[in-house]
Amino acid sequence: MEFENVYFLGIGGIGMSALARYFLHEGKRVAGYDRTRTALTDALAAEGAAVCYDEAAECIPAPFRDRRTTVVVYTPAVPDDHAGLAWFRREGFEVVKRSQMLGLLSAGKYVQAVAGTHGKTTTSTLLAWLDRGTTGGGSAFLGGLSKNFGSNLVLGSGDRLTVEADEFDRSFLRLDPDTAVITSADPDHLDIYGTHEAMKEAFAQFIRQIRPGGYLVLKRGTDLRVDNPAITVYGYACDAPADFHAANVRLLDGGRYRYDIVVPDGVYRDCTLGVPGWVNVENSVAAVAALWCAARARGERPDGERLRAALASFEGVKRRFECYINTPRQVYMDDYAHHPRELAATLASVREMFPGRRITALFQPHLYTRTRDLCDGFAEALSLADEAVLLPIYPAREEPIPGVDSQMIARRLTVPWRIVEREALAETVAAMDTDVVISFGAGNIDACCAAIAEKLKERAGTTA
């Protein structure tokens, strides 16, 4: 594929922006559309991309209106009737999905793909960091902003490429990985798949696409068909027996853990992860497993000292278990969790980190279909907190569904709850008697984080 210009429809998406950054680095001219201006689109503009917020075809810059020199990349979240997308197709441009472009860029690489309905962003980001720490190289396309790398794009030496393999719209089926991690396969994206069984079949197809001689690292208990006889299959778990698992786990001050990581040929003792949370211990076992498999493919083994140093220096991912305040009188954390299993796992981690303290969960449901399909699970998970504050549903790409709203979840809660508008969230939380507060959601609740933290800090200062 030869081209000088790349135009992105949905350039502000976390996966799309990583591709945009890659092509900017490669010296291509980059432009794109997004519906909303964000810190990420501002960053892309500062890095040299031309970003517009009007979908009209007339707003496409002149250099990108030549189909001989321009390729168009779009995200499935962009509807088919989008004016810009329709114009590019009508004019005969080469138009590819983000997943197709990612598949093209992975050709010739040793691909380490992390898939799953939750946990994949932290796991893939940690894998990229471990790669850098133990080999000094490796590249990555990530689904979140790594605090260590300061980006969702990692460019490094060598042929290893870590990618977050997204099951939405079957995007991960564009990849043929050498090592694949599957963290979970819980019901999600049923607006795309229709049934949980259809979604699981897509994961089974993803497993079939692992290259001969490759590896599958599968979370223990994940119910998926594995019928690729040309690969080696390993299981992993947090602290239960498996090919890869954590042992001798100790909770440290601040919610971090020290533990041993058991691998098929030995043990990496006294590992300390740089970020808190029990759920991240599990993510680290998966990342180490993938790293170990990639090394084994070369007849090597990750160096223990370098591995421990990389785990300890891992700073996490923006909006994944991110701590804004952590004092004996007030804690505030934010997390991207938007599936019941994610919420439950994070709340369980918070409960273990802060035993005996009162937990307030703030949650913005994401998508009408997901709320409709999983409302019982959301209510069960949020009831693990001591109280809940819900925001209206963030629609993303969807139109409202009659009768589907945040009340569907609220009515099923077994703890006190209230529903507030996003604009009033910071003031509402500041007026509440809170101790440990954690906000959840994949929509725009993150725009409230700074204000919530500021209000809670102000209150702590006046009552200290």
CA distance 104 to 152: 18
- Which ranges of 4-91 would DSSP assign to H, the alpha helix? 14-25, 39-46, 83-90
Mean pLDDT of the chain: 93
* Dihedral angle computed from the Cα positions of residues 305, 320, 239 and 307, in that order, rounded to the nearest 10 degrees: -10
Output the CA torsion sign for 167, 169, 173, 178: negative
pLDDT tens digits along 131-185: 999 999 999 999 889 999 999 999 999 999 999 998 877 888 989 999 999 999 8
265 and 287 co-located in one domain? yes
Cβ neighbors of 9 (< 8 A, separation 6 or more) are 32, 33, 72, 73, 74, 75, 78, 82, 84, 85, 88
User: Are 240 and 218 within 8 A, CB to CB?
Assistant: no
- Strand ranges inside 59-109, DSSP E: 70-74, 94-97
Pairing verdict, β 257-263 and 245-251: antiparallel
- How many C-beta atoms surround the C-beta of residue 95 within 10 A? 17
- At residue 255 the predicted structure's pLDDT band, cuts being 50, 70 and 90, is confident
HEC string for 378-390 = HHHHHCCCCEEEE
Asked if pLDDT for residue 1 goes beyond 70, the answer is: no
133 and 241 co-located in one domain? yes
- At residue 111 the predicted structure's pLDDT band, cuts being 50, 70 and 90, is very high
Span 360-372, average pLDDT: 95
- How many C-beta atoms surround the C-beta of residue 411 within 10 A? 10
Return the DSSP state at 149.
Answer: T
Span 410-417, average pLDDT: 97
Question: Model's pTM, two decimal places?
Answer: 0.81
CATH number at residue 36: 3.40.50.720
Span 411-432, average pLDDT: 96
Cross-strand partners of 5: 29, 70
pLDDT tens digits along 50-108: 999 999 999 999 999 999 999 999 988 888 899 999 999 999 999 999 989 999 999 99
Three-state secondary-structure class, residue 317 = strand
- Which ranges of 298-355 would DSSP assign to H, the alpha helix? 304-313, 340-353
Asked if pLDDT for residue 464 goes beyond 60, the answer is: no
CATH number at residue 436: 3.90.190.20
386 and 412 co-located in one domain? yes
Cβ neighbors of 256 (< 8 A, separation 6 or more) are 272, 273, 274, 275, 276
More confident residue, 460 or 382: 382
Per-residue pLDDT at 459: 83
299 and 370 co-located in one domain? no
Return the DSSP state at 446.
Answer: G
Three-state secondary-structure class, residue 267 = strand
Tell me which of 100, 116, 131 is where a domain ends.
100
**Which domain, by its residues, includes 356?**
322-463
User: Are 249 and 281 within 8 A, CB to CB?
Assistant: yes
Q: How many domains does the chain have?
A: 3
More confident residue, 310 or 1: 310
User: Are 273 and 283 within 8 A, CB to CB?
Assistant: no
| CA distance readout (Å), 2 to 6, 27, 73, 304, 340 | 11, 13, 14, 43, 44
CA distance 141 to 163: 5
Asked if pLDDT for residue 463 goes beyond 70, the answer is: no
293 and 338 co-located in one domain? no
CATH number at residue 194: 3.40.1190.10
User: For residue 292, what are its two tokens?
Assistant: 């170990």
Cβ neighbors of 131 (< 8 A, separation 6 or more) are 112, 137, 138, 140, 156, 160, 162, 291, 294
309 and 174 co-located in one domain? yes
242 and 340 co-located in one domain? no
341 and 430 co-located in one domain? yes
Span 433-452, average pLDDT: 93
Asked if pLDDT for residue 247 goes beyond 70, the answer is: yes
> What single letter denotes the amino acid at residue 189?
H
Per-residue pLDDT at 445: 93
User: Are 245 and 262 within 8 A, CB to CB?
Assistant: yes
Tell me which of 295, 313, 331 is where a domain ends.
313
Question: What is the side-by-side strand order in the sheet with 29-33?
Answer: 50-52, 29-33, 5-9, 70-74, 94-97
Q: Which of 41-50, 294-303, 368-377, 454-463 has the lowest mean pLDDT?
A: 454-463
Per-residue pLDDT at 29: 97
Pairing verdict, β 331-335 and 436-440: parallel
CA distance 205 to 302: 30
- Cα 139 to chain centroid, rounded: 17
CA distance 464 to 459: 8
Tell me which of 78, 100, 122 is where a domain ends.
100
422 and 347 co-located in one domain? yes
Cross-strand partners of 50: 31
Q: Which of 215-219, 399-403, 456-460 has the lowest mean pLDDT?
A: 456-460
Asked if pLDDT for residue 336 goes beyond 80, the answer is: yes
Asked if pLDDT for residue 14 goes beyond 90, the answer is: no
- At residue 349 the predicted structure's pLDDT band, cuts being 50, 70 and 90, is confident
Span 324-335, average pLDDT: 90
Per-residue pLDDT at 169: 77
78 and 130 co-located in one domain? no
Output the CA torsion sign for 370, 35, 120, 272: negative
Three-state secondary-structure class, residue 449 = helix
CA distance 271 to 284: 10
327 and 309 co-located in one domain? no
127 and 245 co-located in one domain? yes
Q: Which of 35-49, 71-85, 314-328, 407-421 has the lowest mean pLDDT?
A: 314-328
